[in-house]
Amino acid sequence: MTFYTALVIMGLLGLTLGAIVGVFVKLFKVEQDNRVELALELLPGANCGGCGRAGCADFARALAAGEVTPGNCPVSSVEQRAAIAMALGIDAGPIEMQQAVVCCRADIGAEEMNYNGVQDCNAANLVAGGPTTCRYGCLGLGSCARVCPFGAIEIVGRVAVVHPELCTGCKQCAKVCPRNVIKMVPANANIHIYCNSPEKAAIKRSLCAAGCIGCRKCEKLLPGKIKFDGMLAQIDYDSPDAITQEDIEKCNCPVHGIMSEKERYAVAKNAASGGKRA
Amino acid sequence: MKSSRNVMTFAGGIHPHGDGKSLTCYTPVQNAPLLDKYFVILAQNAGKPPIPVVKKGDRVKKYQLLAAADGAVSANLHSPTSGIVSNIRDIQGTHGVPTSAIEISADGLDEADSPFAPIPDWRHADVDILKQRVIEAGIVGMGGASFPTHVKLSPPEGKSVDTLILNGAECEPYLTADHRLMQEFPEKVIRGAAILGRILNIGNIFVGVEINKLDAIAALEHYAGDYGVKIAYLRVRYPQGSEKQLINAITGRTVRSGTLPMDSGCIVQNVATCAALDDAVTLGIPSVERIVTVTGEVVVKPGNFKLKIGTPALEAVRFAGGITEEPGKLVFGGPMMGFAQRSFQVPVCKNTSGILLIPQKQAYNFESSGCIHCGRCVQGCPMNLVPCLLSTAIEAGRFDLAAENHIMDCMECGSCAYVCPDHRPLIQNVRHAKAELRKQMNASKEK
């Protein structure tokens, strides 16, 4: 008898509680968007913060909510971006890849001042405007290399050089640089102008032997490929006709400020090992 | 001197040995000859720089207004001599970055034309007129911070100020500009203090002087009684001349973290500021000159000079007889809190109390490894901070931890770095962290 009583009580109790749970599940149902998890799966998962959000999960949520486009994730590849857009059924937006370039050749041009303080660019820049003669050039103390989540920046001698094959374009380095010498350019571009100083030619020349002197020779010889921003030549990356190695030889820049990434690295290595200066 | 006098001081701080004051403290202030060109930097005050009211090619007279204050926290700027405004352009500033300056080509006549008249009867003049004069004359704190003085003279509603303290401590090694000022022009200092007292309606006025300047104390005491000013003797100790330490030494009050001296009922002014105020009121001339100590072991004839603002450092060193050997560093201000300069062309500003040339053998580079937690910086810190903890936190990128440990209370006096046996760059770390925290604060404000 006791056995049956227990069975009935336990059975009734189970049914009642089950009914309550069932009612509450219906009442407080949370709408799950499975697209968030889908997006998170497709994202690179670097958690670098390059998108300006608190990691990949937050970015995935923003994607599903339509606040951002896949192109806002700087480290994902073009294929990944297209895949995310397709899977989520959203507009892909601009999806070109970017990369960072340190537009400076202070290692072979500018004189260095006597500085033995904190080895951090932001701290050094506070001491009388920084320990280099040029106020716009790379300080070479490696704040960018330390924040790079992909190890893409190497300090060669006195200047930072980006390894394009490792750079994902997450912009962390550009954000930390106190001199704004790191520029974001399209990832397929290979040739850059290595100077960042808007100073007048005479002043620039007195501070650095490798600075752009604003002679406008390149602009005349390569119309459409190079534009001028004040006293500083700049590659027009939007130009449909990309600048080539022959173009560099053709315009023969007097300070050799236009060069390919490969050549830039070789020059920096050579200067660091005590090679010739500009 | 009475032997039983009460010498006041504060807790913490250091004794820099070989303070270098004897190089210049015995020689009288010399007048500097007129130069061909003066470079008057616009941003000579804390806050907004004034806006130029002259243009290129204008003829100006001595004391004429060059730039007018832009808003409340800003100060007027006047011409140091007569001549022609030959250019307005960017030159090397005192903080290492180019800054806008008015270049004046002197005509050699030094023709004066002051925009305002003296107020000889200041004892009975209207307080508002005196206050207006402080604004007109472009007076800023000449101790180093260059904060516009008129802002300090208008305490906000509900804050009662009962004590005015004049800072004549001059605790920075090497500098003797205030020392010579107090000794040679004691009446100007005391009268300036009395005028300030009248503006603020305060009778309780102290001049705080370190007891290594007994001759200056004697000179001040001669006039102090006539104007109802008291002299406070201070122990020789760095940073005795810091606002909060001075208040604590003289009144025993503590200026709490995050509050202003006004909240403790005190206002502190530098003695040179008082002398400039006295000039503006009793002589009717604006602030265009100051006493500058040009010193250092490599200077041929170190001394104090009355320099017009806009005098390049190179010329100032030339007045002092030039140099015996190539200096390692050029510093504006004292060796503890001064700023190293990039170029000898940087001109003297209203807050330049000294031009110091450091020999190469003293400007050598230190090697520092790691903090050994000896705690000497903790003993030395006059603000009761823990510099070793702050700097290790900053080196690890933990600016939030530094903020929690009151890094914003640090006044960068350098006592900790002076006593550190490992020569760690403590102050540079602090400045770096403060800049980063300010950046973060601005970023969160924008959001």
| CA diameter of chain B | 63
A117 interfaces chain B, CB cutoff of 8 Å = yes
Note whether A234 and A130 are same-domain residues.
yes
Is it the case that residue B347 has pLDDT exceeding 90?
Answer: yes
Query: What tokens were used for B406?
Result: 């009151």
The whole-angstrom distance between B365's CA and the closest CA on chain A is 6
Global pTM reads 0.84
A129 interfaces chain B, CB cutoff of 8 Å = yes
Residue B388 identity: C
Confirm whether A13 is domain-assigned: no
Note whether A158 and A251 are same-domain residues.
yes
Q: Which of B76-80, B165-169, B183-187, B366-370 has the lowest mean pLDDT?
A: B366-370
Q: Which of A74-88, A160-174, B22-36, B179-193 has the lowest mean pLDDT?
A: A74-88
Confirm whether A108 is domain-assigned: yes
Strand order in the sheet with B289-295: B30-31, B303-308, B289-295, B354-359, B327-332, B339-340
Confirm whether A5 is domain-assigned: no
Tens of pLDDT, residues A203-231: 888 888 888 998 899 988 888 889 888 88
Tens of pLDDT, residues B69-104: 998 899 999 999 999 999 999 998 888 888 999 999
Note whether A116 and A239 are same-domain residues.
yes
- The predicted pLDDT at position A113 comes to 76
3-state secondary structure of B288: coil
Interface A–B counts its CB contacts (< 8 A) at 40
- The predicted pLDDT at position B3 comes to 41
Q: What is the mean pLDDT of residues A190-207?
A: 89
Cα distances from B298 to residues B22, B325, B358, in angstroms, run 14, 6, 7
Task: Tell me which chain B residues have a C-beta less than 8 angstroms from the C-beta of A200.
Answer: none
- The predicted pLDDT at position B414 comes to 93
A126 interfaces chain B, CB cutoff of 8 Å = yes
Give percent above pLDDT 90 in chain A.
Answer: 28
A123–B431 CB contact, under 8 Å = yes
Which CATH number is A63's domain given?
Answer: 1.10.15.40
Strand B65-68 versus strand B51-52 pairing type? antiparallel
Note whether A190 and A263 are same-domain residues.
yes
Instruction: Find, in chain A, the residue whose alpha carbon is nearest to that of B367.
Output: A116
The number of folded domains in chain A is 2
Confirm whether A237 is domain-assigned: yes
Cα B145–Cα B147–Cα B150 angle in degrees, nearest 5:
150
Confirm whether A132 is domain-assigned: yes
- The predicted pLDDT at position B5 comes to 66
Residue range of the domain that includes A51: 34-88
Instruction: Find, in chain B, the residue whose alpha carbon is nearest to that of A130.
Output: B96
Note whether A78 and A102 are same-domain residues.
no
- The predicted pLDDT at position A128 comes to 82
Task: Tell me which chain B residues have a C-beta less than 8 angstroms from the C-beta of A136.
Answer: none
Q: What is the mean pLDDT of residues B258-264?
A: 89
Confirm whether A24 is domain-assigned: no
Q: What DSSP string runs through B231-260? A: EEEE-S-BTTTSHHHHHHHHH-----TT--
Instruction: Find, in chain B, the residue whose alpha carbon is nearest to that of A113.
Output: B342
Query: What tokens were used for B442?
Result: 């601005």
Q: What is the dihedral of CA A104, A106, A110, A116, to 10 degrees?
A: 130
Note whether A102 and A73 are same-domain residues.
no
Strand B205-210 versus strand B163-168 pairing type? parallel
Cα B318–Cα A116–Cα A195 angle in degrees, nearest 5:
85
Is it the case that residue A278 has pLDDT exceeding 60?
Answer: no
The whole-angstrom distance between A134's CA and the closest CA on chain B is 11
- The predicted pLDDT at position B204 comes to 93
Note whether A242 and A199 are same-domain residues.
yes
- The predicted pLDDT at position B83 comes to 95
A44: Cβ contacts below 8 Å, ≥ 6 apart: A56, A73, A75, A76, A80, A168
- The predicted pLDDT at position A89 comes to 82
Is it the case that residue A271 has pLDDT exceeding 90?
Answer: no
- The predicted pLDDT at position B208 comes to 95
A117–B428 CB contact, under 8 Å = yes
B365–A116 CB contact, under 8 Å = yes
Distance CA B207, CA B77 (A): 28
ipTM for the whole complex: 0.83
Is it the case that residue B170 has pLDDT exceeding 90?
Answer: yes
Note whether A155 and A202 are same-domain residues.
yes
B432–A120 CB contact, under 8 Å = yes
3-state secondary structure of B295: strand
Q: Do the beta carbons of residue A130 and residue A139 sit within 8 Å?
A: yes
So what CATH class is B1-32+118-364?
alpha beta
Q: What is the mean pLDDT of residues B239-267?
A: 91
Where are the domains positioned within chain B? 1-32+118-364, 376-446
Q: How many CB atoms lie within 10 A of CB B109?
A: 12
